[in-house]
Chains A and B, each alone.
Chain A
Amino acid sequence: MHSDSESVRKSIRLYLTIGVTLLIFTALTVAANRFHFIVPIAIAVALVIAVIKGSMVASVFMHLNHEQRWIYGALALTVFFFLVLMSVPLFTILDSIGTEVHAVAVEHAGGH
């Protein structure tokens, strides 16, 4: 990353601008919640705003917009395994192997 005195001095305005933008986006998130969207839209709106805010923090405050490739490599690995983790709920929902719980309960009730 470029961290000589002069480039850092130039970045200060950017840090402040990003800070203010993040605060505005937080207000937007709360305001969007007042519209009482249906659940899928509410989730989409909240997560899109959170992703935008997260990207700003990561790219500007954490300097990911100009890092070394070793950092990007470590992060690519993290993103891959994070996606695996996030797909675990999907596998759980799609899992149709085995006997359904209510079918077993009905069987037991019939036996007595």
Chain B
Amino acid sequence: MDMNIPYTVEHRPDTGLANGKLGIWLFLGSEVMLFGALFSTYIILRVGAAEWPHGELNIPLGAINTAILICSSVTMVLAWASLKMNDWAKHRIYLVTTVVLALVFLVNKYFEYSAHFASGEVPAHTTFLAIYFTMTGLHALHIIGGVIVMSYFLGPGAKLWKKNPEQFANRIEYTGLYWHFVDLVWIFLFPVLYLL
């Protein structure tokens, strides 16, 4: 028996949206609460601390990582736009570039973490390092999640393009929404942790 999941491409009459679109936004809402709780914790810890370290983190590397994520957001939205313009080759180039930029971000983070660990700056060392590793570690896990999803769409998930191009474009759009959210979180993490 062949069953199709409804409203993957066509819009529901009551919401005016495909189900996946509303689903990803509800998921992002829960993500806002997750990171919001951590930002709230950061404020409580910082206000309650007798002193707070300043200039302990590598600002140039943090700024480079910010630029990398911004560029990856641009390539992600262009990957979706290429599909909408029926340009499969460009879509692949932009999606691969997004994955590469994400991996470069993670490599930079690896070097940053390694430098901290080498000088004995582990999460248990200070309150600042504990919240720094928690927030950036959770963010890095989100980057890894994004890389896995994008790699799926570069590999086995790409078959859907031939079968149902509109549905595939929608999936890339939802992946993009998630990816821009990850960029958005970093836009706030960078000044809060590295500069203030």
Contacts and interface: CB of A to CB of B under 8 A. Distances in A.
Contacts of A89: 40, 43-44, 47
Contacts of B183: 57, 61
A51 B44 CA distance: 21
Contacts of A29: 63, 190-191, 195
B2 to A, nearest CB: 28
The interface size bin for chain B is 35 or more
Interface SS of chain A: helix
Interface residues of A, number: 47
A57 B180 contact: yes
Contacts of A18: 74
Given A50-B191, A61-B77, A62-B180, A30 B59 contact: yes
Contact of A74 (B29, B33, B67, B73): B29
Interface string B129-148: 00000000000000000000
Interface string A61-82: 1100000111100110110011
Interface stretch (B80-88, B99-107, B156-164): B80-88
Contacts of A49: 191
Nearest to A92: B44
A58 B184 contact: yes
A50 B188 contact: yes
Interface in A35-49: 39, 42-43, 46-47, 49
Interface in B153-195: 173, 176-177, 180-181, 183-184, 187-188, 190-192, 195
Contacts of B37: 85
Given A3-B84, A54-B187, A78-B29, A26 B67 contact: yes
B188 A33 contact: no
7 contacts: A42-B195, A42-B196, A47-B191, A61-B77, A61-B183, A85-B40, A86-B40
